[in-house]
């Protein structure tokens, strides 16, 4: 039963491997300058929003990993675009039960939450009529949907100073109110512009449509709309029912309010879907002064936008029938007027935008159409005060628990406990390093549930040492010498530790894969600590015990070693009160 | 210290032996009583499900000044509907706070209420107010996922235990597992804490812990019963009982070491923080770890032993052991007696003193396979 000999050569190498791992972790932390773990929102304060895909009955198959990934990207870009730093967007779960979690650290912004709610459908609808949003008479003749407060013609500069050779078609005169304008953004589109010019004089299809009465004829006048809807439009009070626009399908005319509820709109059926927007960006054009939003359509979008803008261009001078409403989730985000037919698939919205407004609008245009629509399943805002309290409580609990465990181990295992305590320290350092590393690379953040998981892990990690130490003691009781006992105890303890840790690993993996939110964070720490537990027991505890076994202190079975044969009631010590005798015997046996 | 050392040594060698397996009736009755108590606790004090499961909004305002009524009125005004917010006061060492619970709010409504509360309580919305909104279907989803996870986990565990050990141990482990979870949930109901996702995490951890602890004991049982059927030294129940006794110190140490940090967590969670994740989690864990250790010893192992004793091979073994004892010691304890005897020390060579705590010094050279109880009865003292 001499297990000792093959194993005795290894402790140095194991410790070396562990040292390399720890130095690598430490070095990485030092080089990257990132030495503290990423804290979850419940510990540092912040907002987390869980979005759940909404599936219409019969469309269950829509939620695929692909569509979820796409949505995650869009939401991430939208959140980043809104200027919120360090926001993270991630998908959790899979298939029909997948959700998207958006985490925004720091003080919460109500605006972001609202913006994330705007995730459903983006569409362009020609405007048929507008009126003040409440039925109180208002003097404003024309809506000003893009929240611009400043008056003046500066906003038109973008349209004029673009590469558009047409120059200013004089919309300031045509539309005295400051209204965002849609211009052809196709710099190289000389042909198109030429075409526009020729297209403009062509009689607009408007007059003919009422006569045909065909369903497929474009609706361009309020009179063409179902009288019931007209009635509804007249009676609509945006203060009471701001989300009325949600109720309409894309194929029918609609009524909607703007974001502020200041204006209500009667809108034609959807002309271009938001999905047909290829790209949108906020920029100051060359030689331009103000911010504009440029828009690129894809193939279908170009054609559809061309047709509709041509029709609208015929109404220039008859506001609001030359306006194109950008409708997001039933709200009119902006309703720029058309300057000219836009056939090249590139448009430019100018208005009196601030940089922020232009960026917001571009984001909505670019990312507005998600492949899925979402509802807010959970919203959690933790104030930094509460977060700090919770972190502190977690740390206090952890420290207190650790001290209690160390005291207990020292009382019971004496010198051997030092190995256990050192092992816990090594495990603690490894866990810390891994949490920092994973926070940096995988975006893993430590939540309160995760901290609780770590505290529980103290017990489970210490159990590995206890299993080992008890096995060694059993071997000593069998009367084996220290060195033999340490090795024989190890071969048996090893099996138990692996079998038991495997259970924890199964639990961690199953919970991680199948759950969401806090449970997931907890499962992750459980799995991480279990792996580290194995690593530490194999690469640290066992080698250190092997090395200690060679010291006189342990070989002699001092009563402070925690492995004193007499104290353990070993067979060799039977009937002897003399420690010398037992020591000698142990030595001869060990030799 | 040396006292414990003596006891530990005695336990290991079977000199000091607690009859865990033989007195199964006693343990089963204790557990049955606990289970009935848990069940009645669940009936009387049904579980309080938190807002996370029911759907709704909770806002927490850290403020020393504003009263419950002020906060309720402010919130009700901001919502302007028939919704009546439920406002409760929370006091902890980290300060006083108000908890305002309403139906699930939209983003805009949440902002409105937050602003109104900040106004009336004289605090800043961003720094001192926390909000939580849970859609009505979300709790169902979480529960659904937790249950799915549970089923998959249990199936995985049964397969693992059946392969690594044997199906009887899988059965024993599962019975112990349900025992633990049921009692924990019952105590949770009794205390009246709210069931939150943290509670679910706690219960899931107990599943893992209960099994972990059971596996450690089973591993020793497996080791002790290896090749047992071929001999006639002791019955399966006796070997299993010895295994439990031999790992008893480990079990005690492990549960103490496991419970100490959780106790710290419970204390800090309940008294320092007042409410929240830590407290809910720690209570579930504290009860679960204690019950988990108990069930590994008193429930899981006896169940396995009983299942095993039904095997023809083990019955034959029992007969051989009995016969051997008759021929050796004259007295012929039946298996049941031997197992249920007051001490039931599974001495291989019982020599007529089955069950007595090693008081007869009978020096004999220690021979026989390792880990089998020796009949050397010398008390060791320093």
Say if B253 is an interface residue toward chain A (CB within 8 Å). Answer: yes
Say if A237 falls within a structural domain. yes
* Under 8 Å between Cβ of B11 and B253: no
- Judging contacts by C-beta atoms under 8 Å, the chain B residues touching residue A397 are 261, 264-265, 267-269, 278, 282
Highest mean pLDDT pick, A223-237, A486-500, A503-517, B139-153: A486-500
Question: Half-sphere exposure (CA, 13 Å, Cβ side) for B124?
Answer: 7
Say if A107 is an interface residue toward chain B (CB within 8 Å). Answer: yes
d(CA B199, CA B283): 8
* Under 8 Å between Cβ of B284 and B202: yes
Instruction: Specify the pLDDT at position B354.
Output: 38
Least confident interval from A132-141, A204-213, A345-354: A204-213
Instruction: Specify the pLDDT at position A532.
Output: 92
pLDDT bucket at A97, cuts 50 / 70 / 90: low
Say if A30 is an interface residue toward chain B (CB within 8 Å). Answer: no
Do A11 and A75 lie in a common domain?
no
d(CA A549, CA A490): 13
Q: Which residues of chain A from 216 to 245 reach within 8 Å of chain B, CB to CB?
A: none
Say if A415 falls within a structural domain. yes
End position of a domain, from candidates A115, A143, A159: A115
Inter-chain residue contact B146 with A503, CB threshold 8 Å: no
Say if A562 falls within a structural domain. yes
Q: Which residue of B has its CA nearest to A379?
A: B133
Distances (CA, A) of A121 to A111, A117, A305, A377, A433: 19, 11, 17, 19, 44
B305 by Cβ neighbours in 10 Å (0-12 / 13-18 / 19+) ranks as buried
d(CA B255, CA B289): 7
Query: Which SS3 state, helix, strand or coil, does residue A591 take?
Result: coil
- Looking at the domain B2-49+149-309, which fold is it? Multidrug efflux transporter AcrB transmembrane fold (1.20.1640)
DSSP B40-90: HHHHHT--EE-HHHH-EEEEEEE-SS--HHHHHHHHHHHH-SS---EEEEE
Question: Residue A296 — φ and ψ, nearest 5°?
Answer: -120, 130
pLDDT bucket at B330, cuts 50 / 70 / 90: low
Do A437 and A577 lie in a common domain?
yes
Say if A260 falls within a structural domain. yes
Instruction: Specify the pLDDT at position A531.
Output: 92
What mean pLDDT comes out for the span A551-574?
Answer: 61
Q: Which residue of A has its CA nearest to B205?
A: A507
Instruction: Specify the pLDDT at position A102.
Output: 80
Highest mean pLDDT pick, A566-570, B134-138, B305-309, B346-350: B305-309
What mean pLDDT comes out for the span B149-166?
Answer: 87
Q: Which residue of B has its CA nearest to A497?
A: B216
Do A531 and A503 lie in a common domain?
yes
Q: Which residues of chain B from 84 to 103 reach within 8 Å of chain A, CB to CB?
A: 94
Question: Residue A352 — φ and ψ, nearest 5°?
Answer: -90, 60
d(CA B21, CA B19): 6
List the single residue in B106, B142, B277 with the smallest CB-CB distance to A448. Answer: B277
Q: Look up the domain containing A79 and give its range.
A: 46-115
Which of A335, A334, A336 has its CA nearest to residue A361?
A334
Question: Half-sphere exposure (CA, 13 Å, Cβ side) for A395?
Answer: 8
**Residue A203 pLDDT more than 80?**
no
More confident site: A591 or A474: A474
pLDDT bucket at A3, cuts 50 / 70 / 90: very low
What mean pLDDT comes out for the span B296-306?
Answer: 86
Q: Which residue of B has its CA nearest to A403?
A: B261
Inter-chain residue contact A507 with B208, CB threshold 8 Å: yes
d(CA A161, CA A527): 60
In sequence order, which residues have a C-beta less than 8 Å from that of residue B68 and are 6 or more positions away? Answer: B87, B88, B89, B98
Q: Which residue of B has its CA nearest to A396?
A: B268
d(CA A107, CA A383): 7
Say if A288 falls within a structural domain. yes
Q: Where are the domains of chain B?
A: 2-49+149-309, 56-134
Inter-chain residue contact A478 with B259, CB threshold 8 Å: no
d(CA B204, CA B286): 13
* Under 8 Å between Cβ of B342 and B23: no
Say if B6 is an interface residue toward chain A (CB within 8 Å). Answer: yes
Instruction: Specify the pLDDT at position A230.
Output: 81
d(CA B144, CA A38): 29
* Under 8 Å between Cβ of A45 and A105: yes
Least confident interval from A180-184, B31-35, B63-67: A180-184
* Under 8 Å between Cβ of B123 and B130: no
List the single residue in B111, B152, B250 with the smallest CB-CB distance to A466. Answer: B250
- Judging contacts by C-beta atoms under 8 Å, the chain B residues touching residue A408 are 256-257, 260
A145-187 confidence digits (pLDDT tens): 443 333 333 333 333 333 333 333 333 333 334 466 777 665 4
Instruction: Specify the pLDDT at position A289.
Output: 74
d(CA A27, CA A99): 36
Instruction: Specify the pLDDT at position B27.
Output: 86
Q: What is the SS3 assignment for A53-64?
A: EECCCCCHHHCC
List the single residue in A379, A503, A567 with the smallest CB-CB distance to B133. Answer: A379
Do A207 and A335 lie in a common domain?
yes
Do A563 and A418 lie in a common domain?
yes
Do A73 and A97 lie in a common domain?
yes
Question: Half-sphere exposure (CA, 13 Å, Cβ side) for B333?
Answer: 26
A30-59 confidence digits (pLDDT tens): 888 777 887 877 777 777 778 877 766 665
* Under 8 Å between Cβ of B126 and A46: no
Say if B8 is an interface residue toward chain A (CB within 8 Å). Answer: yes
Maximum C-alpha span of chain A: 120
Q: Which residue of A has its CA nearest to B97?
A: A386
Cα A62-A65-A70 angle, rounded to 5 deg: 85
List the single residue in B111, B204, B272 with the smallest CB-CB distance to A396. Answer: B272
> Kind of pairing, strands A46-54 and A291-297?
unpaired
Q: Which of A470, A513, A517 to mutate to test the interface with B (most CBs of B within 10 A)?
A: A470
Do A489 and A534 lie in a common domain?
yes
Give how far the C-alpha of residue A374 lies from the chain's centroid of Cα atoms, to the nearest Å.
Answer: 15
Q: Which residue of A has its CA nearest to B129?
A: A383
Inter-chain residue contact B132 with A380, CB threshold 8 Å: yes
B200-247 confidence digits (pLDDT tens): 778 877 787 788 888 888 888 888 888 777 777 778 888 888 888 888
Do A110 and A140 lie in a common domain?
no
Choose the CATH number for B56-134 among 3.30.379.10, 3.30.70.3220, 3.40.50.300, 1.10.490.10: 3.30.70.3220
Maximum C-alpha span of chain B: 91
Which of B207, B227, B226 has its CA nearest to residue B218?
B226
Q: Which residue of B has its CA nearest to A511?
A: B149
Which of B343, B107, B268, B362 has its CA nearest to residue A51?
B107
Q: What is the SS3 assignment for A308-371?
A: HHHHHHCCCCCCCCCEEEEEECCEEEECCEECCCCCCCEEEEEEEECHHHHHHHHHHHHHCCCC
* Under 8 Å between Cβ of B356 and B16: no
Q: Give the CATH number of the domain where residue A74 resides.
A: 3.30.70.3220
What mean pLDDT comes out for the span A566-583?
Answer: 50
Highest mean pLDDT pick, A107-121, A438-452, B120-134, B153-167: B153-167
Do A183 and A59 lie in a common domain?
no
d(CA A59, CA A43): 39
ipTM of the complex: 0.71
Distances (CA, A) of A54 to A63, A69, A97, A530: 9, 15, 11, 37
Inter-chain residue contact A402 with B261, CB threshold 8 Å: yes
| Total tally of structural domains belonging to chain A | 3
Say if A51 falls within a structural domain. yes
More confident site: A317 or A177: A317
DSSP label at residue A87? -
- Judging contacts by C-beta atoms under 8 Å, the chain A residues touching residue B149 are 510-511, 514-515, 519
Strand spans (E) along A84-143: 88-92, 99-105, 122-132
DSSP A487-542: HHHHHHHHHHHHHHHHHHHHHHHHHHHH--THHHHHHHHHHHHHHHHHHHIIIIIH
Which of B122, B115, B84 has its CA nearest to residue B101?
B84
**Residue A571 pLDDT more than 60?**
no
B380 by Cβ neighbours in 10 Å (0-12 / 13-18 / 19+) ranks as buried
Mean pLDDT of chain B, nearest integer: 74
Do A406 and A515 lie in a common domain?
yes
The H helix count followed by the E strand count for chain B is: 15, 6
Inter-chain residue contact A459 with B289, CB threshold 8 Å: yes
Inter-chain residue contact A408 with B256, CB threshold 8 Å: yes
Give the residues across from A267 on adjacent strands: A127, A254
List the single residue in A50, A114, A394 with the smallest CB-CB distance to B278. Answer: A394
Which of A369, A143, A133 has its CA nearest to residue A270?
A369
Say if A404 is an interface residue toward chain B (CB within 8 Å). Answer: yes
End position of a domain, from candidates A115, A138, A167: A115
d(CA A89, CA A101): 6
> Around Cβ B365, how many Cβ atoms within 10 Å?
8
Instruction: Specify the pLDDT at position A273.
Output: 80
B76-119 confidence digits (pLDDT tens): 777 776 667 777 777 666 667 777 877 777 667 777 777 887 88
> Around Cβ B316, how many Cβ atoms within 10 Å?
12
Do A241 and A342 lie in a common domain?
yes
Say if A505 is an interface residue toward chain B (CB within 8 Å). Answer: no
Inter-chain residue contact A478 with B60, CB threshold 8 Å: no
Inter-chain residue contact A383 with B269, CB threshold 8 Å: no
* Under 8 Å between Cβ of A186 and A345: yes
Structure tokens at A186: 């196709």
**Nearest-neighbour CA in chain B from A500: distance (Å):** 5
Say if B192 is an interface residue toward chain A (CB within 8 Å). Answer: no
Q: Which residue of B has its CA nearest to A462?
A: B257
Count of pairs with CB atoms under 8 A, one residue in A, one in B:
301
Highest mean pLDDT pick, A69-78, A260-269, B269-278: A260-269
End position of a domain, from candidates A354, A375, A393: A354
Length of chain A: 591
Give how far the C-alpha of residue A153 lies from the chain's centroid of Cα atoms, to the nearest Å.
Answer: 41
d(CA A503, CA A300): 56
Q: pLDDT above 90 covers what percent of chain A?
A: 1
Say if A30 falls within a structural domain. yes
Do A148 and A250 lie in a common domain?
yes
**Residue A212 pLDDT more than 50?**
no
Mean pLDDT of chain A, nearest integer: 71
Q: Which residue of A has its CA nearest to B222?
A: A496
Instruction: Specify the pLDDT at position A190.
Output: 36
Say if A491 is an interface residue toward chain B (CB within 8 Å). Answer: no
- Judging contacts by C-beta atoms under 8 Å, the chain A residues touching residue B133 are 376, 378-380
What mean pLDDT comes out for the span A367-373?
Answer: 62
Question: Residue A255 — φ and ψ, nearest 5°?
Answer: -120, 145
- Omega prior to B99 cis, within 30 of 0: no
Inter-chain residue contact A401 with B260, CB threshold 8 Å: yes
Say if A563 is an interface residue toward chain B (CB within 8 Å). Answer: no
**Residue B309 pLDDT more than 80?**
yes
B74-86 confidence digits (pLDDT tens): 777 777 766 677 7
Which of B199, B192, B197 has its CA nearest to residue B53?
B197
Query: Which SS3 state, helix, strand or coil, does residue A125 take?
Result: strand
d(CA B346, CA B155): 35
> Around Cβ A441, how many Cβ atoms within 10 Å?
10
**Nearest-neighbour CA in chain B from A591: distance (Å):** 21
Q: pLDDT above 70 covers what percent of chain B?
A: 75
Which of B118, B121, B95, B99 has its CA nearest to residue B51?
B99
Q: Which residues of chain A from 47 to 66 reach within 8 Å of chain B, CB to CB?
A: 50, 52
- Judging contacts by C-beta atoms under 8 Å, the chain A residues touching residue B289 are 459
């Amino acid at each position: 039963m001499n297990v000792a000999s093959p194993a005795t050569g290894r402790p140095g190498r194991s410790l070396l491997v562990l040292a390399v791992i720890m130095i690598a972790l430490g070095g990485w932390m030092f080089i990257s300058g990132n030495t503290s773990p990423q804290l979850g929102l419940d510990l540092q304060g912040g907002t987390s929003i869980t979005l759940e895909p909404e599936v219409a009955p019969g469309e269950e198959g829509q939620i695929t990993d692909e569509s979820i990934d796409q949505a995650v990207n869009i939401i991430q870009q939208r959140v980043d675009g809104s200027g919120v730093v360090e926001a993270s967007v991630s998908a959790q779960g899979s298939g029909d039960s997948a959700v998207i979690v958006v985490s925004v650290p720091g003080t919460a912004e109500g605006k972001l939450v609202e913006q994330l709610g705007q995730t459903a459908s983006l569409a362009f609808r020609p405007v048929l009529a507008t009126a003040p949003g409440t039925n109180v008479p208002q003097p404003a003749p024309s809506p000003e949907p893009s929240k611009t407060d400043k008056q003046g013609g500066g906003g038109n500069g973008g349209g004029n100073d673009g590469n558009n050779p047409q120059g200013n078609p004089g919309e300031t005169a045509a539309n005295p109110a400051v209204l965002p304008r849609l211009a052809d953004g196709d710099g190289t589109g000389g042909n198109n512009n030429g075409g526009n010019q020729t297209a403009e004089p062509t009689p607009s299809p408007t007059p003919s449509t009422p006569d045909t009465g065909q369903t497929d004829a474009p609706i361009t006048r309020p009179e063409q709309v179902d009288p019931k809807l007209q009635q509804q439009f007249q009676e609509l009070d945006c203060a009471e029912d701001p989300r009325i626009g949600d109720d309409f399908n894309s194929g029918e005319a609609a009524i909607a309010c703007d974001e502020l509820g200041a204006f209500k709109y009667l809108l034609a059926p959807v002309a271009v879907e938001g999905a047909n927007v290829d790209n949108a960006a906020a920029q100051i054009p060359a030689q331009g002064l103000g911010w504009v939003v440029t828009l690129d359509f894809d193939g279908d979008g170009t054609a559809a936008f061309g047709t509709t803008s041509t029709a609208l261009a015929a109404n220039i001078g008859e506001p609001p029938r030359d306006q194109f409403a950008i409708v997001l989730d039933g709200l009119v985000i902006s309703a720029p007027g058309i300057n000219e037919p836009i056939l090249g698939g590139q448009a430019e919205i100018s208005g009196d935008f601030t940089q922020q407004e232009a960026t917001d609008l571009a984001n909505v245009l670019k990312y507005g159409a998600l492949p899925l629509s979402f509802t807010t399943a959970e919203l959690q805002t933790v104030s930094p005060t509460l977060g700090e309290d919770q972190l502190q409580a977690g740390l206090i609990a952890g420290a207190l628990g650790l001290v209690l465990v160390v005291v207990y181990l020292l009382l019971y295992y004496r010198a051997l406990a030092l190995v256990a305590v050192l092992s816990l320290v090594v495990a603690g350092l490894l866990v810390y390093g891994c949490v920092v590393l994973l926070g940096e690379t995988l975006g893993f953040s430590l939540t309160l549930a995760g901290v609780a998981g770590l505290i529980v892990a103290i017990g489970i990690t210490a159990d590995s040492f206890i299993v080992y130490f008890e096995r060694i003691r059993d071997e000593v009781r069998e009367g084996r010498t220290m060195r033999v006992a340490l090795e024989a105890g190890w071969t048996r303890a090893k099996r138990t530790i692996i079998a038991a840790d495997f259970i924890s690993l199964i639990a961690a993996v199953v919970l991680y894969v199948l759950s969401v939110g806090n449970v997931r964070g907890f499962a992750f720490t459980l799995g991480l600590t279990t792996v580290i537990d194995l690593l530490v027991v194999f690469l640290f505890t066992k080698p250190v015990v092997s090395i200690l076994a060679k010291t006189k202190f342990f070989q002699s079975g001092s009563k402070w070693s925690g492995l004193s044969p007499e104290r353990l009631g070993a067979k060799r010590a039977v009937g002897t009160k003399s420690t010398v005798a037992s020591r000698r015997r142990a030595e001869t046996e060990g030799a | 210290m040396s006292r414990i050392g003596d006891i530990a040594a005695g336990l290991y060698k079977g000199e000091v032996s607690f009859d865990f397996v033989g007195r199964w009736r006693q343990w089963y009755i204790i557990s049955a009583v606990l289970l009935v108590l848990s069940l009645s606790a669940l009936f009387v004090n049904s579980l309080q499900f938190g807002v996370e499961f029911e759907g709704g909004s909770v806002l927490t305002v850290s403020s020393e000044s504003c009263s419950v009524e002020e906060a309720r009125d402010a919130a009700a005004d901001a919502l302007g509907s028939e919704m009546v917010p439920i406002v409760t006061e929370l006091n902890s060492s980290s300060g006083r706070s108000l908890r305002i619970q309403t139906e699930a709010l939209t983003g805009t409504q949440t902002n409105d209420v937050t602003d109104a509360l900040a106004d009336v309580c004289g605090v800043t919305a961003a720094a001192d107010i926390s909000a939580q909104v849970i859609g009505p279907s979300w709790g169902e989803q979480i529960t659904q996922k937790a249950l799915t996870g549970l089923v998959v986990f249990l199936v995985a565990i049964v397969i693992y235990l059946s392969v690594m050990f044997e199906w009887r141990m899988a059965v024993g482990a599962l019975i112990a597992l349900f025992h633990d979870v049921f009692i924990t949930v019952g105590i949770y109901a009794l205390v009246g804490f709210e069931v939150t996702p943290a509670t679910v995490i706690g219960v899931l951890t107990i599943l893992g812990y209960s099994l972990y602890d059971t596996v450690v004991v089973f591993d020793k049982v497996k080791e002790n019963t290896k090749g047992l059927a071929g001999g006639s030294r002791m019955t399966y129940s006796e070997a299993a009982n010895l295994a439990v006794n031999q790992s008893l110190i480990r079990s005690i140490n492990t549960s103490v070491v496991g419970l100490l940090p959780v106790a710290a967590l419970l204390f800090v969670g309940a008294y320092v923080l007042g409410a929240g994740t830590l407290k809910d989690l720690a209570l579930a864990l504290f009860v679960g770890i204690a019950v988990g250790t108990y069930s590994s010893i008193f429930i899981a192992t006896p169940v396995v032993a009983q299942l095993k004793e039904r095997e023809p091979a083990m019955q034959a073994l029992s007969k051989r052991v009995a016969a051997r004892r008759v021929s050796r010691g004259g007295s012929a304890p039946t298996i049941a007696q031997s197992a249920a005897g007051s001490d039931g020390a599974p001495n291989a060579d019982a020599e007529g003193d089955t069950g007595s705590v090693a008081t007869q010094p009978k020096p004999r050279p220690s021979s026989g396979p390792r880990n089998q109880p020796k009949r050397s009865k010398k008390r060791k003292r320093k």
